[in-house]
Amino acid sequence: MKTGRQHRESLRDGRSVYINGGLVSDVTEHQAFRRSIDTVCTLYDTAWDERNRDLMTCLNEGGVPINRIWQLPRSHADLVERRKALEFWGMQHAGFFGRSPDHVASCIAGMYMGLDVFAEADTARAGALADYYRHASEADLFLTYVIINPQGELADPDSPSPRRIAASVVDQGPSGIVIDGAKMLASGGVMANEVLVTCIQPLAPGEEALAFSAVLPMNATGLRILSRKSYEEHAGCVFDSPMASRFDENDAVLVFENVTVPWERVFVHNDRALCAKQFFATPAHVYQNYQAMIRLKTKLTFLVGLGRKIAQVNGTERFPQVREILGQLAADVGMLDAMVAGMEVKGSHYGPYFIPDRHSLYAAQAITQTLYPRFIEQLRTLSGGGVIMLPSSVEDMENPEIMKWISRSQASPVMDAADRVKFFKLAWDCIGSEFASRHTQYEMFYAGASFVPKNHSFRTFDWDRATGVVDRMLASY
């Protein structure tokens, strides 16, 4: 386990982060990242805090206290305990850190639970994974991952010499493998300690060089971290953009320039089948996405609360049509809440470990991917122009003369003008700002384009039960 201060210190490691045309010397001090890094540090402090010890920590198999994000649940009760810890963490950022440290920790924990799958293919690689799980969990590392190839990869498959831009293994030797090429899209990468680099997409024969799985530190020699535009940097003060200024987890393209990864950090090498199995034949994919659903539940709970307050502030709550919208949003949140509980209740054992129900998880993902943009649209419907008729910045409010007019124009039945401005600036940053728009894109795509979770749902559904009902009906007449 570590404190926030220790995490902040760990990011001063000479990593190569590029933004606005230059190399960043210290991400913890840079205005594009520093407040969001503070948020991550707060998460670690919250877990470290004596008052939260029972909630946030457990003992590992060797009796060492670890953050519950790394826990390996052995029963339904363990799974629920772990979920409560994840919910508590998620509450600190209202679910707006998509790739908070519990996401990839869940993936690695799931891979470790499926160590046999790795061992069947290569005992040395399985040993590397087992050692890494112990190391990462005891050091409480913040991991991000890049598991998707950039969109340009093989966009021209019929060309005689298709472009290859995805990271692949270009060399190997006694000291390890050498990776060269690019990967999208390391959310949280700027503020993480290490990155899992692999490929979750199906690979064709001949693409063995792309079929690897390895972890490396964010300051590895030759690793370039190319940040997107920072919303935090453009947010101004916290009052004007309370979400973007503090919860911009960042997304970065990673470019690997002949980066060497030692064998003890390589889990899959030159093996297309194992590359897929590491996610789907172990509990990894279920665990990482179960975390995502817990986080989303927290986010939607926050957003439905925002919706109710929007109606209260606007004095529209009394209209039946408005209650209908709020009722639908509440039903959506209730559904996800029940689905997470369902994943747990319908869970089963995988060896000694307890795993959330696979199909319930994929059903929730398929549904929520399209639900999120509709949810946001309904909040915008409730808002009207209130989220736009706002002072340009807090500086307007610091000028007594302008404040006089703001007070006259921003009246609400339930809040004074200053509180109403504060509230609607929060609402806009959640539903309409550039930061908010990135969140809609995130929820629509983090688990793959919409056909991906739907195909997982198709693959894992109990079709025999469903078609059996049809057969019974047919046989009845």
Ligand X SMILES: Cc1cc2nc3c(=O)[nH]c(=O)nc-3n(C[C@H](O)[C@H](O)[C@H](O)COP(=O)(O)OP(=O)(O)OC[C@H]3O[C@@H](n4cnc5c(N)ncnc54)[C@H](O)[C@@H]3O)c2cc1C
Site for ligand X, rule CB under 6 A: 99, 144-148, 151, 184-187, 251, 438, 441-442, 445-446, 448-449
Of the pair 8, 454, the CB lying nearest ligand X is at 454
State the minimum distance, in angstroms, from the CB of residue 449 to ligand X.
4
Instruction: Give the nearer residue to ligand X in terms of CB position, either 98 or 391.
Output: 98
| Whole-angstrom distance, CA of residue 370 vs CA of residue 391 | 33
Beta-carbon neighbour count of residue 413 at 10 Å?
Answer: 9
| Vertex 98 angle, CA 96 and 102, to 5° | 115
- Kindly state the smallest distance separating residue 323's Cβ from ligand X, in Å: 33
DSSP 62: T
Cis peptide leading into residue 254 (ω within 30°): no
Considering the complex, what minimum distance in angstroms separates the CB of residue 367 from ligand X?
17
CB atoms within 10 A of CB 73: 25
Total Cβ atoms within 10 A of residue 374: 12
Q: Which is nearer to ligand X, 204 or 449 (CB)?
A: 449
Identity of the residue, 375 or 446, whose beta carbon is nearer to ligand X in the bound complex? 446
Closest approach, Cβ 274 to ligand X, in A, equals: 18
Distance CA 412, CA 313 (A): 6
Q: Which is nearer to ligand X, 79 or 200 (CB)?
A: 200
384, two tokens: 């009207």
Q: Categorise residue 274: left if φ over 0, alpha if ψ from -120 to 50, beta otherwise.
A: alpha
Give the separation between CA 184 and CA 102, rounded to whole angstroms: 20
Name beta bridge partners: 16: 224
Question: What phi and psi, each to the nearest 5 degrees, are found at residue 181?
Answer: 125, -170
Report residue 440 as tokens: 């809609």
55 burial type by CB count under 10 A (0-12 exposed, 13-18 middle, 19+ buried) = middle
Distance CA 292, CA 311 (A): 29
**276 vs 397 by CB, closer to ligand X:** 276
Residue 55 C-beta: closest distance to ligand X, Å? 27
**Closer to ligand X by Cβ: residue 151 or 381:** 151
CB of 171 to ligand X, least distance (A): 24
Which residue lies nearer to ligand X by CB, 259 or 417? 259
For residue 255, the cross-strand partners are 182, 224
Q: Which of 193, 183, 181, 186 is nearest to 27 (CA)?
A: 193
Supply the minimum distance, in Å, between the C-beta of residue 103 and ligand X: 8
* Min dist. Cβ of residue 152 to ligand X (A): 9
